[in-house]
Amino acid sequence: MQLTCDSIFSYDDKYNRPFNLYKDQPDCQPMHEWQSYHFPTCNVVHEQPLNDNEEGKFLAHGWWRQTFEVHESGTDDRIAMKTLRNHHSFDANLMEKHRVDSLIYERLTSSPFVMDIYGHCGYSGLFEFSDGGILEDLILNRKDRGKKPLSRVDKLSLAVEVASGIADLHTIGSKNGFSAMAHTDLQLNQFVWSGGKYKLNDFNRGHLMYWNRRKHESCPFYWPEPNPGHVSSFIV
């Protein structure tokens, strides 16, 4: 089901958005209509048990959300379920963060270098499971951990995977060569191992670009807050 965010809170008027980044740019508007879409699948999310026993084993947490291991119905296939951490309050800003997160995942479904999303509702979501760690763990402090240096071939392969995920983010939905989406929080821990490669994930600090209808170019923006966290909720 396709919804717009007007059913949750006022979104389409840029002067009422939670992140009011374009107040001083009257010629700017959303680059695409789909940037205000919302695709909740709440029944699928609420069907997942969280009893920390047979189902719903707690794995780890990031800054905003915590991650549990659940299984696809009737199978042994694992899914990562992310829910809002208990000490965070429910508000429109956070709702918008996680709407954007799920929408960017949805737009990037065709990319093999971006983690998949299986369901979304409010502050929660169901995602491709990773049990292979993050790129940061692979690269940093290898000598201190008794690991051999990465070969040039390994480094090249990793660089291709990272660049491919970012390239898909910046080209899918692009307009006249300008990206429609930005991550704004790229770090080594945002690339997780799954399906034989490192994939880009975690878009809850993502940004959907606006378009200057007079200049026919992307509108610049200044991100108003630094990233408060340095952990990834996909660490397992």
DSSP string, 47-99: TS---SSSS-EEEEE-SSEEEEEEE-TTS--EEEEEEE-TTSPP-HHHHHHHH
Q: Can you give the residue range of the structural domain that contains 92?
A: 3-218
pTM, whole model, 2 decimals? 0.84
> pLDDT for 187-200, tens place per residue?
999 999 999 999 99
Check residue 189 and report its DSSP letter.
G
Nearest to 95 by CA among 7, 34, 15: 7
CATH of the domain at 44: 1.10.510.10
d(CA 203, CA 96): 11
> pLDDT for 109-128, tens place per residue?
999 999 999 999 999 999 99
Task: Give me the pLDDT at residue 3, please.
Answer: 45
Total domains, the chain: 1
Task: Give me the pLDDT at residue 58, please.
Answer: 86
d(CA 207, CA 230): 19
Strands 117-121 and 124-128 come out as antiparallel
Residue 21, in any domain of the structure:
yes
